[in-house]
Amino acid sequence: MRTAIRGLGETFITLGIVILLFVVYQLYWTGVLARQARADELDKLNKKMKQNLAAAQAAPPAPTTSKGPPPPPAAPEPYKHGESFAVMYIPRFGSGWKWTVLAGTDADVLKKGLGWYDGSAQVGQPGNFAVAGHRKTYGDPMIHFPDLRVGDKIVINDTVNWYIYTLDKPVVNGSSDKAVYKTVPEDVGVVATVPAKGFDKPGTYITLTTCDPEYGSSHRLIAWGHLDRVQALSAGEPAELKGTS
């Protein structure tokens, strides 16, 4: 009898310790993993960037390596699922805020950074460039999402250009200057080419999504913006990032 009770007690203590360890894993260790993955992805992107810059300098007017007709300009190659293609900066989230954007929104992709919705527009292209990010765990990239205001800048660079987007006021938000719209997970119209409740005519848009509340998933937070301008990487860091990094 006494042995049985002791065994039961030990089992409960063990379970308690395992659950505590799981909390440590979720709140701390996933962040460590995400930051490692981000460093790896940034390395890969930097390599591609240097290659592109070198190629642009080596063969400025006409691409010599291509066979057949020259490729149409500014049509980016399709993103490969699970691979990073860009870096996003949101000054509102702090000067050090910098995450890679990878193609795809499944759990394994979102462990490494922000996820691009398959089939949405590519960055800088007409349509809707839609990106999802973790609110809590895996580095908490979107933890301060509710702070986003109308007019906030979102700066993105891929391996060719800088893209500067400005956040807009959601149609439904009345007089508030918040750029954040709260909805339910089934509201897929928010990432449509012309986002429902965000805009009423076609354009070059960006959509950010994350979960709400912080420790739950009953709702989603959405922010929309439009493309302001594009500048070549060689033109240097855009003014929106100056003084923040």
**What residues make contact with another protein under the rule CB under 8 A?**
6-7, 10-11, 18, 21-22, 25-26, 29, 105, 107, 110, 115, 117-120, 128, 130, 132-137, 142, 172-173, 181-193, 196-197, 209-211, 215-220
- State residue 106 phi and psi, 5-degree precision: -80, 165
Q: Which is nearer to another protein, 113 or 238 (CB)?
A: 113
- 87 versus 211: smaller Cβ distance to another protein: 211
Nearer to another protein, 130 or 154 (CB): 130
CB contact at 8 A, 140 and 31: yes
Closest distance to another protein from the beta carbon of 214 (Å) = 9
Pairing type for strands 204-212 and 127-132 reads parallel
Q: 182 Cβ partners below 8 Å, 6+ apart? A: 212, 219, 220, 221, 222
Query: Which is nearer to another protein, 128 or 159 (by Cβ)?
Result: 128
Question: What length does the chain have?
Answer: 245
The radius of gyration computed from the CA coordinates of the chain, to the nearest angstrom, equals 22
- Measured from the CB atom, is 26 or 166 closer to another protein? 26
Least distance (Å) from another protein to the CB of residue 187? Answer: 4
Burial of 195 (0-12, 13-18, 19+ CB in 10 A): buried
